[in-house]
Amino acid sequence: MLLLGQEQDKETKLDRNELEFQLLRMQNDMKQIAKSYDVIGVDQTKDDNLVIVYKSEQLDQCKIMINDCESRYDGWDFSIDAVYEDENTLHIGDIKGPANKGYGSICMHYLKETASDKNIPTIKGDIAKRDWGHVDRLIHFYEKHNFAIELDTENKCGKIEWNDF
């Protein structure tokens, strides 16, 4: 029994040390990121890693990016690129980065928040033929975020749409 308690103490110390390390890294990275981008949040992944969420808006483009504080900032670790199609629509052009880390859900939350802040009620996007190899994962992702999905399985493409009504 005593051995189990010692192992738990050791694990707690490792977790605390890792968190302290991520906080120090986050402070340094935040300074670097804020020089060029709008920092819009700090969040936590499903693996409990701290991430800095930041945004770039130029002309009609909006890019929501994540820096995982587990490693030193050297550009974004994940991004959602979108275009302001018109005053009512934000169109997702691309989602880039590793899957299954929770980054997409965090970025989607902030993309929806950005649309809401600008009174944009609709976010749209396309599922392209190049995405067909992981279309099941995309369907799961978009359904989780309350998007309507329309698939054309014959042509291996589709459309997604979210409305904030």
Domain locations in the chain as residue ranges: 2-163
Q: What is the DSSP letter of 161?
A: E
State the pTM of this model.
0.86
Share of the chain above pLDDT 70, in %: 92
Q: Are 60 and 73 in contact (CB under 8 A)?
A: no
The pLDDT of residue 40 is above 90:
yes
* pLDDT tens per residue, range 101-121: 999 999 999 999 999 999 999
Instruction: Give the residue, 12 or 63, on which the prediction is more confident.
Output: 63
- Helix (H), strand (E), coil (C) string for 56-69: EEECCEEEEEEEEC
Euclidean distance between the first and final Cα of the chain, in Å? 56
Which CATH topology does 2-163 take?
A: Aminopeptidase (3.40.630)
